[in-house]
Amino acid sequence: MGRMNRFMRNGHSLILAYDQGLEHGPTDFNEKNVDPAYVIDIANRGGFDAFVCQKGIAEKYHELIDVPILMKVNGKTAIYGRDPVARQNCSVSYAEKLGASAIGYTIYIGSQFEGEMMAEFGRIQEEAHDLGLAVVLWIYPRGEYVKNDTAPEMIAYAARSALELGADAAKIKYTGDRKSFSWAVRAAGSIPVYMAGGKKTKDETDFLRQAHDCISAGATGLAVGRNVWQSEDPLEFSKRLNSVVIEGREPETVLKTA
């Protein structure tokens, strides 16, 4: 767990993700959050342990970012619909030069291109560790042979793969219930597990409950984007998320005292 310690408070951690402009396109954005400066401000003031972005945002908005940068060094658009592959688009040394404190990489297990991504990740992981940087693996089952990308056995497989491939933390999707998620956390061994946020829930309380379930299932934290920066009041919502994830409070109590 050593390399991830700097991103933790109380043994837990909250990471704000803002790489959706590439991954999904600007359809995720509104008038406010289309502006990187708006989301960076949430990362700075909302109690986040790291900010996820691609190299372009880190380069162009560097002076605004006050939290550690977890830089994604691969990515893809949502345009191509077949088995996914995301190739490296930034070197580890350039990420470090831009001030990255950790490296992020996505592998789609089950894709016909998983081998390419695993090989690329292997090299990136070694380069990052040589520079003392932690490596967080976004690990998502996806492709023609993956019938259900959040099936518990698939998510546990992803978590275990992250451990065996040498990641310092695994970012996985929620399985839908606490029991199966706790098995995925077990499968990840000693590496911290982060839940990926997903589409914004209609009711913010539902997301707080899901966050609470993940933490009680043994997850270290959340790496979340849309549920925070699409919120009507992102700073207030971040405060509540901090209470649940970092302080371990029950969502109901958090809401009552809000």
Taking the complex as a whole, the smallest distance from the CB of residue 130 to ligand FBP amounts, in Å, to 25
Indicate which residue of 55, 171, 173, 174 is catalytic. Answer: 171
- Long-range CB contacts (< 8 A, 24+ apart) of 243-247? 244/208, 244/211, 244/212, 244/215, 245/12, 245/13, 245/14, 245/211, 245/215, 245/221, 246/9, 246/10, 246/12, 246/13, 246/14, 246/47, 247/10
Number of residue whose CB is nearest ligand FBP: 197
Can 171 be counted among the known catalytic residues? Answer: yes
Minimum CB distance to ligand FBP smaller for 128 or for 228: 228
End-to-end Cα distance, the chain: 33
CB of 45 to ligand FBP, least distance (A): 19
- Among 152, 166, 176, 198, contact with ligand FBP (rule: CB under 6 A): 198
CB of 256 to ligand FBP, least distance (A): 26
Beta partners for residue 222, in sequence order: 14, 195
**Residue 19 touching ligand FBP (CB under 6 A):** yes
The strand pairing partners of 186, in sequence order, are: none
- 135-164 residues in contact with ligand FBP (CB under 6 A) are 138
Are the beta carbons of 105 and 129 closer than 8 angstroms?
no
Please work out the total of residues on this chain that contact ligand FBP, with binding judged by CB under 6 A.
14
Are 86 and 76 spatial neighbours (Cβ–Cβ below 8 Å)? Answer: yes
User: Catalytic: 256?
Assistant: no
CB 111, min distance to ligand FBP, A: 12
For 198-230, b where at least 16 C-beta lie within 10 A, e where not — what string?
eebeeebeebbbbbbbbbebbbbbbbbbbbbbb
Stretch 87-126: interaction string toward ligand FBP, x if CB under 6 A: ----------------------------------------
Determine the interface stretch with ligand FBP among 35-43, 89-97, 196-204, 239-247 (rule: CB under 6 A): 196-204
Site for ligand FBP in 222-251 (CB under 6 A): 224-227
**Restricting to residues 37-56, which ones interact with ligand FBP according to CB under 6 A?**
52
Catalytic-role residue among 140, 157, 174, 194? 140
CA-CA-CA-CA torsion sign (8, 18, 161, 92) = negative
**DSSP line for 217-247:** TT--EEEESHHHHTSSSHHHHHHHHHHHHTS
Residue from 84, 88, 125 nearest 108 by CA: 84
Nearer to ligand FBP, 24 or 45 (CB): 24
- Number of C-beta neighbours around residue 137 at 10 A: 29
Interface segment toward ligand FBP; rule CB under 6 A; list 35-43, 54-62, 157-165, 192-200: 192-200
CB of 212 to ligand FBP, least distance (A): 16
Binding residues for ligand FBP, per CB under 6 A? 17, 19-20, 23-24, 52, 138, 196-198, 224-227
Question: Catalytic residue numbers?
Answer: 140, 171
